[in-house]
C-alpha cells in the first residue's frame, strides 16, 4: 500500500469514527432533552436522587496533631504533622420525603486523600501514600425556604459510620541489656494497612436552584462530620445534581 493510499484509509477511518461519535452525542443530547421534558409536570415526587464529585479534606492532623507513639525513638515527618490532607470525593444520596416534611437520606461517600508517610525513622518521608475513606450517613433534612419556587436550602443532621484505610510502615524492636547498656535491634520495615471504624455525627447543607419547569435541581453541597472518639475530622464541598423521581 502506498503512502497516499494509507493516508486515504486513515481519513476514511477518522470520518467513520467521528460519524459514530456524533451519533452518540446526538443520542445523549436527545436523551437529556427527553428526560427534562418528561419532568415537566406538577412536583409531587416522594423520592429523589442526587450525586456529585468534589473536594475532600482530612483536617485531623491540622486540628489535633495526632501521631503514632514509638517510645523514645519517635520522629515525626514535618510534611505530615499539622497538615491538611487534600483529596477528592464521589458521593450519591437517595432521599424519601416523609409526611412531616422532612427527608430521610442515605448518603454514601467514597473519598481519597494523599499525604506523606510518617514512619518513625524517616526512611520514607518523601514518599506519598493514599488514604481511603468510606462514609455511610443516615440523615434527616428539610427545606427551610419552601416559599421560594426556585431556590432551596436543605440543612441535614444525622449519624455517620466511617471505614478508614491507609498504608502503614511498622518496625519490630528487640531490646537487650548488656553491661547496663540497652541495645536496640530494629528489623527492616514492614508495609501493611491500618484500618479503623468509627461512628459520629454529620452535618451538611445543600444550596439548590431548581431549573424552571423541571424536576432537576443543581447547586452546592457543604459537608462535615465529627467522630465521637476524636472530634472534628473532615470537610467536603461539591457541586450537586439532584433529580426528583
The whole-number pLDDT of residue 212 equals: 83
Picking from 141, 160, 54, the residue whose alpha carbon sits closest to that of residue 95 is: 141
The whole-number pLDDT of residue 147 equals: 64
Query: Over the stretch 19-47, which tens digit does the pLDDT of each residue have?
Result: 444 445 545 455 554 454 444 444 567 89
Count of domains forming the chain: 2
91 and 15, same domain (yes or no)? no
125 and 21, same domain (yes or no)? no
The whole-number pLDDT of residue 68 equals: 46
141 and 64, same domain (yes or no)? yes
The answer to whether the Cα torsion of 139, 142, 143, 145 is positive or negative is negative
The whole-number pLDDT of residue 27 equals: 52
The whole-number pLDDT of residue 15 equals: 42
19 and 98, same domain (yes or no)? no
Q: What DSSP assignment string belongs to 86-116?
A: EEEEEEEEEEEE-TTS-EEEEEEEEEEEEEE
> For 124-129, which contacts have Cβ atoms below 8 Å and span 24 or more sequence positions?
124/169, 124/189, 125/77, 125/79, 125/80, 129/166, 129/167
The whole-number pLDDT of residue 71 equals: 44
Threshold 0.85, pTM exceeds: no
120 and 228, same domain (yes or no)? yes
- Please determine, for residue 232, whether its predicted confidence score (pLDDT) is greater than 60: yes
CA distance 146 to 40: 19
175 and 115, same domain (yes or no)? yes
Which of 5-19, 81-95, 136-150 bottoms out in mean pLDDT, i.e. has the lowest? 5-19
32 and 79, same domain (yes or no)? no
Q: What is the average pLDDT score of the chain?
A: 79
171 and 188, same domain (yes or no)? yes
Query: Over the stretch 172-214, which tens digit does the pLDDT of each residue have?
Result: 666 666 666 655 666 677 788 889 999 999 999 999 998 888 8
171 and 54, same domain (yes or no)? yes
Q: Give the range of the structural domain holding residue 6, as residue numbers without chain letter.
A: 1-38
140 and 171, same domain (yes or no)? yes
The whole-number pLDDT of residue 213 equals: 81
111 and 179, same domain (yes or no)? yes
CATH number of domain containing 110: 2.40.160.20
- pLDDT exceeding 90 applies to what percent of the chain? 43
172 and 218, same domain (yes or no)? yes
Amino acid at each position: 500500500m502506498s503512502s497516499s493510499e494509507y493516508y486515504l484509509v486513515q481519513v476514511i477511518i477518522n470520518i467513520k469514527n467521528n460519524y459514530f461519535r456524533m451519533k452518540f452525542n446526538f443520542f445523549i443530547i436527545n436523551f437529556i432533552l427527553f428526560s427534562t421534558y418528561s419532568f415537566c409536570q406538577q412536583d409531587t415526587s416522594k423520592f429523589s436522587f442526587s450525586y456529585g464529585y468534589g473536594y475532600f479534606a482530612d483536617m485531623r492532623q491540622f486540628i489535633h496533631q495526632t501521631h503514632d507513639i514509638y517510645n523514645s525513638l519517635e520522629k515525626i515527618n514535618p510534611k505530615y504533622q499539622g497538615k491538611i490532607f487534600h483529596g477528592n470525593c464521589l458521593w450519591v444520596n437517595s432521599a424519601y420525603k416523609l409526611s412531616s416534611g422532612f427527608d430521610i437520606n442515605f448518603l454514601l461517600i467514597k473519598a481519597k486523600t494523599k499525604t506523606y508517610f510518617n514512619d518513625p525513622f524517616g526512611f520514607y518521608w518523601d514518599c506519598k501514600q493514599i488514604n481511603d475513606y468510606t462514609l455511610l450517613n443516615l440523615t434527616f433534612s428539610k427545606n427551610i425556604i419552601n416559599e421560594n419556587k426556585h431556590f432551596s436550602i436543605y440543612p441535614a443532621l444525622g449519624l455517620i459510620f466511617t471505614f478508614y484505610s491507609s498504608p502503614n510502615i511498622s518496625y519490630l524492636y528487640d531490646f537487650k541489656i548488656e553491661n547496663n547498656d540497652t541495645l536496640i535491634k530494629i528489623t527492616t520495615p514492614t508495609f501493611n494497612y491500618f484500618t479503623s471504624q468509627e461512628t459520629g455525627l454529620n452535618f451538611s447543607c445543600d444550596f439548590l436552584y431548581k431549573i424552571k419547569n423541571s424536576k432537576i435541581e443543581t447547586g452546592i453541597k457543604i459537608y462535615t462530620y465529627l467522630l465521637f472518639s476524636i472530634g472534628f475530622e473532615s470537610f467536603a464541598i461539591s457541586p450537586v445534581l439532584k433529580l426528583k423521581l
